[in-house]
Every structure is written in C-alpha cells, then in structure tokens.
Amino acid sequence: MVETIPLDPSAYKEWLDKMRAIYDRLLRRAGKIEEESDEDDEEWHYRDFTADDVDVEEVEIKDTRVLPDTMTVYVYEIDLDDEVFWVNGMPLFRLDCMPTAEVFLEVLSKDHYGHFATKVSMPSEHAYRIAAPAQPPSEQDLSSYESLQGSTNVGTDIHELLGVAKQPSPADRVRIRLYEIIAGLSMSSFQFVSRLLASQIAPSAPSTIPPFITATAKFMVFRAFLPMAFHPDIALSSEKWIEELERGRRGEGERMLWLRPDVCFSAGFYLEHDEHLRAAVGRMVREIHRASKNKKNGVVYGIICSLFHCVIVRVQLDSGSGGSFQHTPALQFLPFRFAESPSTPGITALLRLASKYDDLLSETVLSKSPFKSKPGASQVPASTYIDRLPAKPVARIAAFIPNLMTLLAFASLNPTTAAQANHELSFPFIGDHHLLQASDPDNGDRALARGKFVAMDARGRTRTVRVQGMGPDDTMYDTKQRFGSECYSVFTYTPNPRRAAFVLQAEPSLY
C-alpha cells in the first residue's frame, strides 16, 4: 500500500483526496460522520471508485489509535489527516515524502525508551512535520505581558527567582531523582509517548490546548507538590485531590489550578515560541492579580507546563506600584527521547519550588491517613509527656522511627511532633522503604526509568534498594503477580485508572 503513494506532488494531492474520500464514505456508512447534503459533489468524489477499492466487510472502525499488544507485534498506520506514516504508535515519516524501502529499513531504529524512531542520519525531507501554531496568541495576553515589561527579568537564575540555595538539600536530591524515575516511567510507555507526540502533529489554536496535555501536565505538576509517601494506607491520589481543589471553581479563573494559596498552575502549549510564551505568562500574571486583588503584598508563584517545557513565574504583589513579575525561559520538562540523563532543568526547577512548602508535609499526609482528625473531634491533642520536650530531642526521636505509619502516629501527637516529622517526610517512603540517598547509576547505565537508593527498611536496617515501575503498557500482566503486593500507584492520565496506573516498587538490590 505504501508503494501506491505517489512521489510526484500533483499526483500525491490527487491520491490523497481520493483516499480521504473513500474512507469518509466508509465512515458515513458506519454512521461515524454525517452524510453530505450535496449528492452531486459526493458522486464526483467517488466516480472513479467501485466497491472493490476497499472491502467494507474487512474494515474495522475504531475510535482510538491502534497500538501493538500481545497478539499484534507491528502496527503500520497511514495517517490521511495529518499526512504522517506511523509505526507502532510512533510518527516517523512524511506521507508526501516517504523513503524508499531500502532507506526505510536503514533509518528505522528505537529511542532510549524502546520506542520506534528514526536515526539522526535520516535525510530531513522524510521527517514528519511538527505543526506550527494555527493562530497568533491573544493580543490581550500579550498586552498583559507588555504592560509590566519594564519591571520583568526574563531568564532569571532559578535559585534567585525561587529564593533557594544553589545546592539542593539531601532530601531535595532524593526527591528529584525519584521524580526523574516517575518521568522516565511515563516516557517508557508507548501509549503515553504516542499521545504526547500526536499532540505536536495536529495544529491547534493557542487557546485550545490538547486535553491530553492539560490533564497530564496537571497531574504531573501536582504530583511534585504532594508528599512522596507511597503506601497502601495513605490516599495521596493526585486525581482525587485535584477534583477536590477544582470542585466549585468555575468562571474566569478556571484555567488556573491553585496548588497552594500562593502557587498556581496552568497548562500551556507552544512555549518554545517566544510570543506564545510571553502570552502564556501575561495571561497567568493577569489572572494572578485578579485572584489576589484582596492581597496587598506578597509573592505568588505560577507554573505553566506543556509537558515538553515548563515556565516558572514569580509575581511580586505591591499595592503601591502595581507589582512586578519575573519568569524563567521555557525549561525542558520531560526528557528527550534520546536522553543520556534523566535530569532536566524543568523537573529540577519544579521540585525546588515544591520543596519550599516542606513545612506542610505532616499536615498533608496526616489529612489522608488513618490518623486524620475525626469530624467533631477536638482539634487540640491530649497532653503527653512529649509536650515537655524541646524540639531537638523530638527531632532525634523522629529520625529513629523507620516505619511510615509509626512516624505518622508520632506526628499526630501534637504540633511539635508534627513539625519535627516534616524533615523525615521530606525523604520519600515507598512501602516499608525510607529512601535516604540516591545512588549513582552503574557505568554505562542511563537509568532513565529506574534507580538505586540507600534506604532504611521498617526494621531500621540500612540497605540499597532498586526502584522501578510499570505503566499502562504492562496491563497484560497482573500487577501483583508481576511485582508482588508491594507496588504503589503514582498517578494516572486517563479516566480509567485500572488500565492507566503508573506504579512504583522498591525492593532490595541484589548488586
């Protein structure tokens, strides 16, 4: 079928029109699209074709892209809408400039996550095209940016913008490394990457961000602000929490999600284009001022994320001068498909911003644990002997508690124990393993979706553990059968969590 695609531009255009007409007709027969009202025009489209051109009995119409599974090893797709040739859910070639069979086999390769891709040596004329923005950005959004341009500082050093130390703390290093594994786990899923790349191919208006980008960016950004406590008795589901935050929030500010009283999120797209980046920042700054009109002074942070890039915005509220803002450039967020390292500036910036709110860790985890306050119960804990201890001994006690549930029981005693437990909760828990230090990857090991950590188990023993995970591509296996019972959900990116759950597992390393 590929050999029937003409190489001559005029012949290709005629072929494309005819092929689109044939399949439109099949869709109308199946009731997927409405019949055309102009019968003469329809007859003109199909006059050169008979029923033998496509055997309707052999055509199966699906509503989603077909991907390989246990019974289908290869799926080849001729995309007549966006004029792209796909292999196993990955876009590879321009349909109007397909390579010869020899070149096809020569350049076909796989990326560092195991998905089909083309080699760098492939002639550029065969590469599929990434769509440019369909429309210019909003003039109102650009005006919002330009109105305060004199007091902005683009490309500010991220540490200065966030007000954090140049060097991350030991807890920051562990959390950044674990988040890199979560990002790598997403990139290892061909379902995830297929939808991610598809969002780049079909042009969209700046105000119409692909729903997949909006939903997934929201989950991934919010995941950074949740404590990294993965445990069967802790209900830290990003989806449920986001639903709670969004419940009842409708109207002008609904494009922004407030993760904290002074931190908001908005999905973005085309952030690599300067004018679209400025428009996205301008829109966020305008809406921050609108939402904070009763707040005379202070700092509000905004995060704009497209999954490909993220931008951190710092808005200084000032009732006297009207305020000012600063923002980073578009920072790479998810790793490239041929990444040698799991680290990206966007992930690091996001996790450093989230770490500014570590004093809320105990409160957050306790609110989703068996130790949360019962409705109607007194908010003042009963007095205990620990109330008489200074903060330092309480912190030492917390450091010797290796089990997450015991630590939470300790944190629930009074405000002092809760405050001192924050430090221990800043280091991730995966089941019975308390991750204390990220180990360097082995020589020659990119470790894009897995990693080793020094951890303490529930009995207080220090050991090296391996952290890995699985995603929706592995649903052919029973999760517990493959990983045992000790695997914990990270987040999902579709409404069906059974098929789209990303889970993590920590187990003692054999090496």
47 and 95 in a single domain? The answer is: yes
**Same structural domain, 489 and 403:** yes
Helical segments of 226-267, H only? 238-246
Asked whether residue 271 is assigned to any structural domain, the reply reads: yes
User: pTM to 2 decimals?
Assistant: 0.88
Positive or negative, the CA dihedral 394, 397, 403, 406 is negative
Q: Are residues 209 and 256 in the same domain?
A: yes
Tokens encoding 364: 């957050």
Same domain, 295 and 443: no
The pairing of beta strand 501-508 with beta strand 488-492: antiparallel
Judgement on whether residues 143 and 213 belong to the same structural domain of the protein: yes
Task: Specify the amino acid at residue 147.
Answer: S
Q: Strands, DSSP E only, in 319-390?
A: 324-327, 331-332
Question: What was the pLDDT predicted at 126?
Answer: 95
DSSP category for residue 123: -
Out of 126, 157, 179, a domain closes at 126
Residue 291, SS3?
helix
Query: In a 3-state reduction of DSSP, which class is residue 78?
Result: strand
Considering only 85-89, 107-111, 207-211, 411-415, which range has the smallest mean pLDDT?
207-211
- Judge if 344 and 266 occupy the same domain: yes
Rg of the chain in Å (alpha carbons)? 26
User: How far separated are the first and last CA of the chain, in Å rounded?
Assistant: 50
> Among candidates 494, 493, 75, 116, which has minimal Cα distance to 337?
116
State mean pLDDT over 372-388.
63
Q: Which domain holds residue 253?
A: 139-357
- Residue 408: HSE in the Cβ half-sphere, 13 Å Cα cutoff: 20
d(CA 141, CA 304): 14
Q: Within a domain: residue 134?
A: no
Indicate the SS3 state at residue 433: strand
Q: Which residue has the higher pLDDT, 480 or 16?
A: 16
Mean pLDDT confidence for 477-485: 46
Q: Are residues 16 and 100 in the same domain?
A: yes
**Number of compact structural domains in the chain:** 3
What is the layout of strands, in order, in the sheet containing 229-230?
Answer: 229-230, 429-430, 433-438, 451-456, 462-470, 501-508, 488-492
* 29 and 151 co-located in one domain: no
For the chain, the average pLDDT equals 83
Considering only 133-137, 215-219, 291-295, which range has the smallest mean pLDDT? Answer: 291-295
| Coil, strand or helix at 303 | strand
Tokens of 226: 């949740």
Question: Are residues 191 and 222 both part of a single domain?
Answer: yes
- How many other C-beta atoms can be found within 10 angstroms of the C-beta atom of residue 353? 23
CB contact at 8 A, 99 and 126:
yes
> Nearest Cα to 7, choosing from 97, 129, 87, 80?
97
Mean pLDDT for the stretch of residues 195-201:
93
In a domain, 457, yes or no: yes
Residues 14 and 74 in one domain: yes
